[in-house]
Each structure stands twice: as structure tokens, then as C-alpha cells.
Chains A and B, each alone.
Chain A
Amino acid sequence: MTEILHMLSYHFMQRALIVGVLVSLCAALLGVSLVLKRYSMIGDGLSHVGFGALAIASALHLAPLAVAVPVVVVTAVLLLRLSESSRVKGDAAIALISSSALAIGVISVSVTTGMNTEVSNYMFGSILSLSRSDAVLSVLLSVAVLVLFILFYPRLFAVTFDESFARATGTRAGSYNMLLAVLTAITVVLGMRMMGALLISSLIIFPALSAMRVCRSFRAVILCAAAISVLCFLIGAVASYFLETPTGASIVVANLLCFAGFSLAGMKN
């Protein structure tokens, strides 16, 4: 107990926990919609684009968030448009964009600074890299996501469950999809600084999938996913502090164990 209090006395840990809890919550809520709409890979694709943007920002000595957030938001909108127009299939489009962005990021790193800790942090995440602006942005983001889910819950359910019905009854499904994509983009950029570009998509996908193993109604899935996500973040973060394991990877393992547990429980039912 005293060790936990000692851990909490560090400013960077306080900030990391606040940002982490809020980002995990947002990722889980958005994740439920993304997984159900078969957009799971968007999170993965966006994280690679985020890595490219951060690498270029660091090469040009620009503020990382100021570059990455707009670039990733624009990509999210673009990916959504692409998957709707269905000329290039959505999954192929994501693979194209994400590997290209990763390639550009890697080249811009190698010709400028080389593989330093900052770049490695973008890849694998670091709890120390979170800044004050991350904290402010994560509070704003979580307010936006919570407002969306609490106020527009009936519409969000309808758009997620059956877009054609929602459109037919006069709901602007396109705007909701766009809002989801933009919020996901911001979540990915914030989350990847903590989790790393390679691991952030698990924060979006795992809680939703775990919740779906046992819950049978949409409301229960959302509440359960949010709880799982926050809990697994806390367990992973604390474990990484004491065991000195990488934070992002520890959180993913916590989620993996949770998923395994829920799968077993789901099978029994």
C-alpha cells in the first residue's frame, strides 16, 4: 500500500494515470462501435499514420500533438470515405495507408535523428512521454466521447445496429460515422504515446471483444467494456511500475488475460 502511495506521489505517474484512465475509457466506448461496424482495423491503420506524423514532427522539431492530431483526423475521414465508396476495399485501403505512413516515418527518422529514445517511445509507448497538453486534450476528448454516448445513445445504437434503417428514418448516419472516426483519431494519437503505435489498437479492440463474450445487450456491452478497459489499464500500469515491464505491453497482456477469462465464462454460459 505504501508503495502504491509512493508511486502516486510522482507527478508523472499522476498525469499518466489520469490520461490513461480517460483514454482507456474513450477507446473502449468507441471500440464497441468500431468493432461492431467491422472497422476494427481503422485503429491499427491510424496508429501507423500517427507514428509517421510524430516521426516527421520530431524530425522538423515541431510540437508532436499539433502535427499528429490533424494528420490522423484527416486520415480517419479519408479512410471512412474510402470504405463507404467501396472502390478500393476498406481493409486494403487501410493496409496501404498504414504501411506507407510507417515507411515514410521510418525514412524520415533514419535520415534525421536516427533511432533515438523519442522514436522508440512512439513505437512501444512510454508513460514518461505524456505531457501537460496530453492531459488537457485527454480531458476534452473524454468529455466529447461521454457526451456523445450519453446524449445520443439511441441514435448511436440505431446507426451501429442498422445503418440503412437509421438512414431511412431520417438519421444522418454519415455524420455519426464521421464523428466516431474523428474521436477515434484523437484517441489513437493520445493513446499511442502511452501504448505505442504497435499496441494502441488493442486498447480499442480488446475491451469490446471481452465484453461481447459475456454480455448480451448493447447497453451491457458498453458499460462492461468501459469497466474492463479502465481496470486493465490500472492493473497493467501498476504492474509495469513494480515489475519494470513496458507499460503498453503490460496493459495489452492484462487485456489479453481478461479476454481469456471472459471467453471461458462465455463458453460456460
Chain B
Amino acid sequence: MAILECKNLCLAYDGKMVLEGVNFSLQAGNYLCVVGENGSGKSTLIKGLLGLKAPDSGSILYGEGLKSTEIGYLPQQTQLQRDFPASVGEVVLSGCLNSLGGRLHYNAADKALARMNMERMGIEDLAKQSYQALSGGQQQRVLLARALCATKKMLLLDEPVTGLDPIATGEMYNLIKLVNLCDDITVIMVSHDIHEAVRYATHILHLGQRQLFFGTAAEYRESDLARRFLGGNRI
């Protein structure tokens, strides 16, 4: 059974269609990269998948017991967060928000989960450090650790390497792939960086206000669309 299935999904703002005809399904452990130019509907699709925007028609179905609030989401960073006075520990722990349920405060299990995910991301030494003093790459690791606290099954990453230097970018891609392979967590990543997308992802979804392509990364490489999108260079 698919962990995520979009059937004829259409999303609109104020009656204006932003994205239509989206049909794809993912199995647990897939690594999907969503590509497309600005305004192609990538951000709208994210809102739909997170349950923040209701489909105008069609449907989004989650399988294997996944709920939309149990997706580990890594949003794009805003300036507000970059200089927010918070410790790394506080930020990572806030990923356990969706397991609070009726409780008011985090318990020992939440704190243990936060610690484990910090170790997973290699940032356990930074727990007491100030988030705003970290480098861009470290901040993204913190946010990835937070996203992992929120999910056991699926990560949704919105442009996770924007603004990172090449070394930090490579490390981030490797960490994401590692989580995908070792923990069997399904990854959906929105990216501008098509070359890297094809290298790491198992599946590609190409949007341009509608679905232009969905298939495996290997199929995508052979497609005319990929050739055009990449400016004639084969990858």
C-alpha cells in the first residue's frame, strides 16, 4: 500500500487554479524530489500535503497510519528565525509538539527523542548553544533534527540547502539520504537544484502549474523534459 497517493489533485487560491492534475503515489522509503520553476505550484503542493490547504478537487491519501500532522516538516528559514534567541535543545525539542496531545509539557520520552535526533545529526554537543550563533549548515541540521522528532515515517523538506556553502550542501544531502536509507523514512524534497535532485532521489515530480512528469529518477534523466529543463545538457 502506498504511503502517499495524490489522485487528480487540484489546488487553487481564491478560485484561481495554481496546480492541477497531480497524480502520483509513493511507497514507504521512496525519495521524491519535486522540481519546477518559481510559481510552478511547489509551495502550494507542500501546503496541500501538510493539510494546511484543502484540495479544490481530487484527493490526498495517506497510508500506513501516517497523518498529515505527523510529517516531519522542514520549512524554508526566515530572517526571523536566524536571529531568534533560542538554544539548540529548545528548538529540537519543539519538534515533539505533535506528540504532546493533551499534555501541557514535554516528558522524559520527548526529551530522549530530541537527544537521540541531535546525536543522529551530530549536533549533541551544541544542545546548550545559541541557535542564532550557529552557521547556516548547523542551523539546517538543527531543523532537520526537529523535523525528525515530529515523524517516524515521512520528511517534507522545502529547499533545505538554500544559502548553504558547497560543503554544507553536500553534508546536508548526505544526511538526508542517510536518514532515508537507514531509517526507511520517506523523503519529499522541494528543490531548485535539479542536478543533485536527480543524483539522490529515487523519484522525480516535475511541476509547471500542472504535473509535467512523475517517474523514477532514471526515467526522468532520459526524458525530453529533463533535457529542456537542464538547458540541453544530459546529466
Contact = CB atoms under 8 A, between A and B. Distances in A.
Contacts of A165: 73, 75, 94-95, 97, 146, 150
Contacts of A169: 69-70, 73, 95, 97-98, 150
A246 to B, nearest CB: 32
A161 B73 contact: no
A161 B52 contact: no
A171 B105 contact: no
Contacts, number: 85
A62 interface: no
A168 B100 contact: no
Contacts of B70: 169
B52 A167 contact: yes
A166 interface: yes
B104 interface: yes
A151 B103 CA distance: 10
B73 A218 contact: no
Interface in B15-70: 50-52, 68-70
Nearest to B100: A154
B14 to A, nearest CB: 11
Interface residues of B, number: 33
Contact of A157 (B68, B90, B130, B156): B90
Interface residues of A, number: 28
B12 interface: no
Nearest to A169: B98
A161 B104 contact: no
B85 A215 contact: yes
B85 A216 contact: yes
A140 B150 CA distance: 36
Contacts of A168: 50-52, 68-69, 71, 73, 75, 156
A219 B52 CA distance: 29
Residue among B71, B73, B97, B146 with the most chain A CB within 10 A? B97
B97 A161 contact: no
B73 to A, nearest CB: 4
Interface of B: 50-52, 68-71, 73, 75, 80-81, 84-87, 90-91, 93-95, 97-98, 100, 104-106, 129-130, 132-133, 146, 150, 156
9 contacts: A36-B84, A155-B100, A162-B81, A165-B150, A168-B52, A168-B69, A216-B133, A217-B86, A218-B84
Given A154-B93, A169-B70, 19 more contacts: A37-B80, A151-B104, A154-B94, A154-B106, A157-B94, A158-B97, A161-B81, A165-B95, A167-B50, A168-B50, A168-B156, A169-B73, A169-B97, A217-B86, A217-B87, A218-B84, A218-B86, A219-B90, A220-B85
